[in-house]
Structure 1
Amino acid sequence: MAIALGLAYIALIPWLPYPGSWVLKPLPMLIYAALIWRAFPGAVGRWLALGYLAAAFGDFFLDYGARDGLFRQALAAFLVNQIAFLVAFAKLAAGSPWRWRRAAPAIAYGVLLATWLVPQAGALQVHVSVYIACLLGMVVMACRVEAAPRLLWLGAMLFLLADSLIGVNKFAAPFPNAVLVIVSLYFTGQTLIALGLLRHRARAA
């Protein structure tokens, strides 16, 4: 159901804005929040559900605010998303080794991105810096959860790319079909994270 709703939103992007788009966009993340909360007991499930709930708010703010109108609110919502995922992944990865080689491409990309993007963010330089740091922290922690790179790892990488392109398109280098590209990467990344978490839970059980 969540995948079908997400694909429907992506298919209708050429017709944005249309009535109810701000309702359709957050629905997949709300469904993922419920699924993950039920699959993971205790604190891990609550943190993961909070992450997806915050992502739903971020989706609402971006769509309802026509991307720029409520950008600060969307940035704050997705920051909560990143921090909640970071904490949940840290709990899931407790006792696992740090997999720096697996995380190295994301770290290198993040450093280059920050060097280029932050100076162009104007009054939001501090906000963007903190956001990139939390985003990278989430990806690094996601690299520890799985014994080998699987769906969760790939989803985190796509999420990093999608969120970075939001900043690139807004502050540095607007590009054609940005909404279609960003939303497609973002939805795929969030879906792979959810599927990866559910498979990780099934293997652990």
Structure 2
Amino acid sequence: MKNRLFHIAIIIISILVLTAEFLQIDWLMYLAKPCIMLWVISYYLLNTQKNQLEKNTLIAFSFALLGDVLLMFQKQHESFFILGLASFLVCQVSYLQVFMKPVLQKDIRKSILVMQPYFLLFFLIYAGSLFTAMYHQLEHFMRIAVFVYAAALTAMAATALNRKGYVAEKSFSLIFTGSLLFLISDSLIGINKFTFQIPYAGIWILGTYIAAQYLIVRGLIEEKFDK
């Protein structure tokens, strides 16, 4: 019953966030957007035993929440975008560590990225193409910041793929799909901000972001059940 109510809550939160974005209702966005990660944190705590709580998971969730809040104010000053980017960088690195854990606990030499390194090439090409598309629109500092973030983001998605065979298929599928949606969401942010305007960009960005965080937390909980 509790989980059913939680799922109703995330549907309501998603509708409010997307409505606020579509109708450009700032006060509703300020209220609803932080609820995305507050829901994720609450759902994780509700469905995870105290002795199974992962510090890096909670760090990732917390900095995603901070990033969400900071990015809401980027129109007021560009520094909020930089701070938001930094917060999500911590989030991505923390996710990367969480996703690597089941692989490192066993034999990394048998992982998909070691046995079939051409999969890594896909992520490198994607990151390189994305950075190249934005390169000429970025100032020197932003080039460095975006490059570092793009590297961390794609590394996070790559480590999500690397979990295959180390966790149950359901946990792997949820987290890998979530990581790809996260990759798409943040790619859309960069393209829309630095390259060209995407129609209804906010809807696409927030929709894929909410789905990404939802799938990731579901996948992490499923991993706990598998043990």
- Kept after mapping to 1: 8 A contact 2:138/2:194: yes
Q: TM-score by structure 1 length?
A: 0.87
- Who is 1:91 aligned against? 101
The structure number with the bigger radius of gyration is 2
CA positional deviation for 1:171: 0.7
- Who is 1:61 aligned against? 70
CA positional deviation for 1:40: 6.5
Is there any run of 5+ residues in structure 1 with no aligned partner, and where?
Answer: none
- Kept after mapping to 2: 8 A contact 1:29/1:53: yes
Are residues 9 and 118 of structure 1, via their aligned partners in 2, closer, same or farther at CA, if it must alter by over 3 Å? same
User: Is 1:129 matched with 2:138?
Assistant: no
CA positional deviation for 1:56: 1.0
Distance 1:49 1:67 in 2: 29
Are residues 98 and 115 of structure 1, via their aligned partners in 2, closer, same or farther at CA, if it must alter by over 3 Å? farther
- Kept after mapping to 1: 8 A contact 2:16/2:28: no
Distance 1:37 1:57 in 2: 18
- Kept after mapping to 2: 8 A contact 1:117/1:171: yes
- Who is 2:198 aligned against? 175
| More deviation, 51-60/28-37 | 28-37
Identity of matched residues, %? 25
CA positional deviation for 1:177: 0.7
CA deviation string 1:140-194 (max 9, x = no partner):
1111224255111010011011101111111111211111111111111111111
In the TM superposition, 1:98-177 aligns within 5 A as: 98-100=111-113, 104-123=121-140, 124-147=142-165, 148=169, 149-177=172-200
Q: SS state of the match for residue 121, structure 1?
A: coil
CA positional deviation for 1:65: 3.2
User: Is 1:6 matched with 2:14?
Assistant: yes
- Who is 1:187 aligned against? 210
CA positional deviation for 1:43: 8.7
User: How many equivalent residue pairs?
Assistant: 204
CA positional deviation for 1:104: 4.8
